[in-house]
Structures are given as C-alpha cells and as structure tokens.
Amino acid sequence: MDYRELEEALRADAAKIAGEKSKWKAADVSKRLEQIADELAAIRLEHQGGIDASMGKRSGSGIKVEI
C-alpha cells in the first residue's frame, strides 16, 4: 500500500463511519490509530531510499543510508 492508497482507504472509512452515526469507544479509536501508524511505518520502511535518504543528504547530517 502506498500513501495514496492509504489516504483513499482512510477517507472511505471516515465516510462509512459518518454514515453509521455510531459512538466509538476510546479503545477502538486507539486501535485504529495504531493500525494507521503501522501502515505508515511499513510504507516508510518500504521506501527507505526515498524521503529518509534524501533528507539526510540535504541536511548534511552525514547519515549513511544502506540501500
């Protein structure tokens, strides 16, 4: 899954939930946020040579990224 797919899935989830007019428990919200964070981490790790690598090069931080 990439960022665009994740965005579209989140928007579809939000629309569906809004239509249900149900109340969510804090534990349910927390679980869903954890799932989203896990998906974002997976995307970031999959594309390790992209944004993370270029940020180190631009900042001159000397971070060495193995690709």
Contact 8, 16 (CB under 8 A): no
The pLDDT of residue 50 is: 54
27 within domain boundaries: yes
The pLDDT of residue 54 is: 55
User: Tens of pLDDT along 14-64?
Assistant: 888 888 877 888 998 899 899 989 988 888 888 666 555 555 555 555 566
How many structural domains does the chain have? 1
65 within domain boundaries: no
Tell me: pLDDT of 65 over 60: no
The pLDDT of residue 67 is: 57
Task: State the residue range of the domain holding 7.
Answer: 3-59
67 within domain boundaries: no
